[in-house]
Amino acid sequence: MIASDQQIEKWKQEKTIGIIGLGDMGLLYASRFSKAGWKVVCCDRPELYEELHEKFLSESFTIVENGTLVSRCSDYIIYSVEAENIGKIVKMYGGSSKVGSIVGGQTSCKNSEIMAFEKYLPADCDIVSVHSLHGPKVDTEGQPLVLINHRTKSEESFDFVESLVSCLKSKHVYLSYEEHDKITADTQAVTHAAFLSMGVAWYNVRIYPWTVGVNKWHGSLENVKVNISLRIYSNKWHVYAGLAITNPAAHKQINQYAKSAMELFTLFVEGKKEELTKRLFTARESVFGNHNGLLLLHDLALDGYSLSKHKMGADDEVIPNSHLSLLAIVDSWHQLGIDPYDHMICSTPLFRIFLGVSEYLFLTEGLLEQTIDAAINVKEFRADDMEFVIAARSWSSIVTYGDFELYRRKFEEVQQFFTPMFQEANIIGNEMIKTILEHSKGKNL
C-alpha cells in the first residue's frame, strides 16, 4: 500500500536508496528517484568510478566507488546488474548490507536473483524485488512494474518500496518470483527470439530489407517487423540473454518456437497446403477463438513508419509474404497451451505490439488464407524463410546450452551490421511504437 504523502516525505528525509549497477535501467531509476526527492547513492564497476563521477556531477544522485559503500549506507538496495552476474555480485557486496535494510533486484529472471539473495544476504535483510517490464527508452508511466514481496518482517518494508517506485507512475503488479519468471517467459522469450531471428536472417543475406524496393517487405506489418527488430539490436545483448538463458521457463518457449518455424516451413516446401491450412486454423481457434470486438490494431495505418525511401508507383505490386515469423508464434502458443491475453497486465510494449500484429494477420478477413497461399505458391520469400528457420534454431541451441559468450558474439555481430541504421530507425520506431500504444489505450494492449 502506498503510504501517505506525509509518511513519504518523512522517508525522503530519513532513507537512502542504493543502486548497484548504472546500466540503462539503473540510470533510469537513479534519475527518476532522485528527481522525485529521494536521496540516491549509486555505483558501477570500480574502474568506472572516475568517469561516472565526472559524467554525472550535475545530477542529484551521488556516485560512489563500489557496492560495499552503497550497501553500508542504503535502506533499500537495488541490484541493477546482468542476470548472468547477479550471484557473483551479490556474493561480493551482500554481506555489507546495512543492518535491517531491504534488498531487491531489477534483473529479468528472478529465480537466480532470489537464490543469490537467500544465499548471500544477512538474515536481518528483507527482500523486495522489482522489475519494470519495458526498456529504458520507454516512458515508465502506465507500464507494468512487478513488485515481489519475497521476505519481509513488517508491512512497512513493502509499503516503503511501493511508495518509492510510485514516482515512476507505472501499473503495479504483485507476483511471486516463480509467477514472474513464468509470465516473462510466456510474454518475452519468444517475442525476442522472433525479432532476433529476423535480424540474423537479414544479416546472413546482407540485406537491409527496406532498401530492396516496394516489392518485398513493404507495408504496415513489415514496418513493425523491421522497426522492432532494429530496436532490439540497438540495445544491450545481456538484456535478452539473461532472460532467455537464466530463466528455465524460457527454454521451452524458445525451443517450441524454433520447432514450429521448422515444421511450418517444411509444409511450405512440401506444398502441403491442406495440412498447413488445418494446422494454422486450429492454432487460430486455440489462441483467438474467444476473441470478440475490434482488433488491437484495428484501422491503424502504419505504412508511413518505413525506413524505405522508395515510393509506390502505379505499376508496382507487393509480393505477398508468408509471414513465417508470425505464423510460428501463434502455432507455438497453441502447441504450448499459452493464452497470450492472460498476461496482458504485465506484458512488455514489444509483446503487446507482437500480439497485435499476430492478431491482425490471423483475424483480418481473408488475410490468413492469402498468407497460406503465398507460403505454398510464392517462391520469392522461400530463401528468406529458410534463413529465418536456421536463425531461430541457432538461437534455440545457444539458449539450450546456456552459452552467454556465443549469445553475445552472435548478437553483436548482427548489431554491428545494423548500427549505421540505428539513429534513424530509433526515431521512426519510437514514433511508431508511440502511435500504436496511444491507439491501443483502452483495448488492453
State which of 155, 175, 195 marks the end of a domain.
175
Residue 445 banded pLDDT, cuts 50, 70, 90: very low
Do 257 and 282 reside in the same domain of the chain? yes
Residue 269 banded pLDDT, cuts 50, 70, 90: very high
pLDDT computed for residue 138 by the predictor: 80
Residue 299 maps to a domain? yes
| More confidently predicted of 149 and 343 | 149
Amino acid (one-letter) located at 24: D
pLDDT for residue 67 is more than 90? yes
pLDDT for residue 442 is more than 60? no
Cell of 400: 539450450
For residues 373-398, average pLDDT: 95
Do 72 and 142 reside in the same domain of the chain? yes
- Per mean pLDDT, which range of 17-21, 47-51, 147-151, 248-252 is the poorest? 248-252
Do 138 and 206 reside in the same domain of the chain? no
**Tens digit of each residue's pLDDT (9 = 90 or more) over 255-268:** 999 999 999 999 99
Residue 445 maps to a domain? no
- Closest by CA to 399, choosing from 261, 254, 202, is 254
Do 171 and 195 reside in the same domain of the chain? no
| More confidently predicted of 35 and 231 | 35
Residue 28 maps to a domain? yes
pLDDT for residue 347 is more than 80? no
Helix, strand, coil content of the chain in percent (nearest 5): 60, 10, 30
Do 254 and 170 reside in the same domain of the chain? no
3 state SS for 96-121: HCCCCCEEEECCCCHHHHHHHHHHHC
Residue carrying the nine cell digits 574502474: 47
Residue carrying the nine cell digits 512488455: 348
Do 354 and 284 reside in the same domain of the chain? yes
Do 200 and 122 reside in the same domain of the chain? no
* Average pLDDT in the chain: 89
Positions of E strands within 254-362: none
State which of 175, 192, 207 marks the end of a domain.
175
Do 289 and 419 reside in the same domain of the chain? yes
Instruction: List the CATH number of the domain containing 170.
Output: 3.40.50.720
Query: What percent of the chain clears pLDDT 90, i.e. is strictly above it?
Result: 65
pLDDT for residue 213 is more than 70? no
Do 138 and 252 reside in the same domain of the chain? no
- 173 phi and psi, to 5 degrees? -125, 130
Domain count, the chain: 2
Q: Which domain holds residue 133?
A: 5-175
Do 240 and 369 reside in the same domain of the chain? yes
- CB count in 10 Å sphere of residue 315: 5
Residue 15 banded pLDDT, cuts 50, 70, 90: very high
Provide CB contacts within 8 A for 163, sequence distance 6+: 2, 3, 7, 8, 11
- Per mean pLDDT, which range of 94-103, 233-242, 286-295 is the poorest? 286-295
Do 123 and 41 reside in the same domain of the chain? yes
pLDDT for residue 63 is more than 70? yes
- Strand, coil or helix: what is 246? helix
Do 343 and 266 reside in the same domain of the chain? yes
pLDDT computed for residue 231 by the predictor: 87
Residue 422 banded pLDDT, cuts 50, 70, 90: confident
**Tens digit of each residue's pLDDT (9 = 90 or more) over 116-139:** 999 999 999 999 999 998 878 788
State which of 175, 195, 229 marks the end of a domain.
175
**Tens digit of each residue's pLDDT (9 = 90 or more) over 288-340:** 988 776 666 665 556 665 565 656 556 667 788 999 999 999 999 999 999 98
pLDDT computed for residue 72 by the predictor: 97
Residue 161 maps to a domain? yes
| More confidently predicted of 355 and 39 | 39
Query: What percent of the chain clears pLDDT 70, i.e. is strictly above it?
Result: 92
pLDDT for residue 42 is more than 50? yes
Q: How far apart are alpha carbons 181 and 436 in whole angstroms?
A: 26
| More confidently predicted of 430 and 356 | 356
